[in-house]
Amino acid sequence: MLKWLTMLCSFAAISSAAPTELHRLAQHRSIRPFSHPGSTHSTGLCITSAGLNGTTVSAAEYSSNWAGAVATDQNVTSVSGVFTVPRTRVPSESSRDVQYGAAAWVGIDGWTCGSAILQTGVTMTVRNGQATYSAWYEWFPDYMRTFSSLKVIPGDEIKATVEARSRTSGTATVENLTTGKKAQHTWRDASDLGELCQTNAEWIVEDFSVGGKLIPFADFGRVRFENASYVAVGQTHGVRGAMEVNIAHDNDVLARCRKEGRSAVECTYEG
């Protein structure tokens, strides 16, 4: 086991079941599709000296299943971002007959809020060289639902937007800017699912879970969120003050992300 010359400087969320040893960072306890790393799902770590595999990093957060950027604020009412659907592949030196997957999405809550997430985006799965791409929406802890009327393929430019009208109502919209088509779902009362905290804005590439286990992570190449913005207390913000998050399993970084300027977040697959 690689010796960690680091210090634990912050937790992204507090959980009575969260692992405390650094080498247990990769442990996943996601129990539903598109579950989040807040609350009972994973631990955020701030690495301040020698990081994963000897890489020197500064103030980086690591998750077992989220990579991207997270902004923490008050009264977050909308989050938006534009990205191009990547051509997803089976990772090199991996079994082709295993299904691999990843999801790119924007959302409200989940990092520090453990009760609900409002999110929407695109899933990407691949097996035996056959890839499938789907647009979807979700009010976690309910299950993901597919926008069956909206077709997406690699190269399509997608705009994903979530809006919270209250802690128990909101809208998810996916627009295919390449084809000019869009799909939308509205929750008028999601109080039976869980209340939003409206404290987080997120632009995420996720290693999602199926049947209680993280799906093998697909090689998504690169996902770049452009025009990334959110509204909090009536003011529009970019990602400049957001926290960068990377995915790490067993001390290896699988996906690394960085902010660029005021309104871009770029994530690359490194598995």
User: Which member of 206, 226, 266, 270 is catalytic?
Assistant: 206
Six-digit token pair at 32? 């539903």
Dihedral sign from CA coordinates of 28, 31, 37, 39: negative
**Residue 24 three-state SS:** helix
Residue with tokens 């499938």: 132
In a 3-state reduction of DSSP, which class is residue 209? strand
* 138 in catalytic set: no
- ∠ CA 146-35-268, nearest 5°, is 85
The span from the CA of 145 to the CA of 112, in Å, is: 24
Q: How far apart are CA 237 and CA 230, in angstroms?
A: 5
- Exposure string over 58-79, b if 16+ CB within 10 A, otherwise e: eebbbbbbbbbbbbbbeebbbb
**The dihedral sign for the CA sequence 9, 246, 205, 127:** negative
Contacts 24+ apart (CB under 8 A), 141-148: 141/32, 141/35, 141/116, 141/193, 141/194, 142/190, 142/193, 143/32, 143/33, 144/33, 144/34, 145/185, 147/174, 147/183, 147/185
List, by residue number, the catalytic residues. Answer: 206
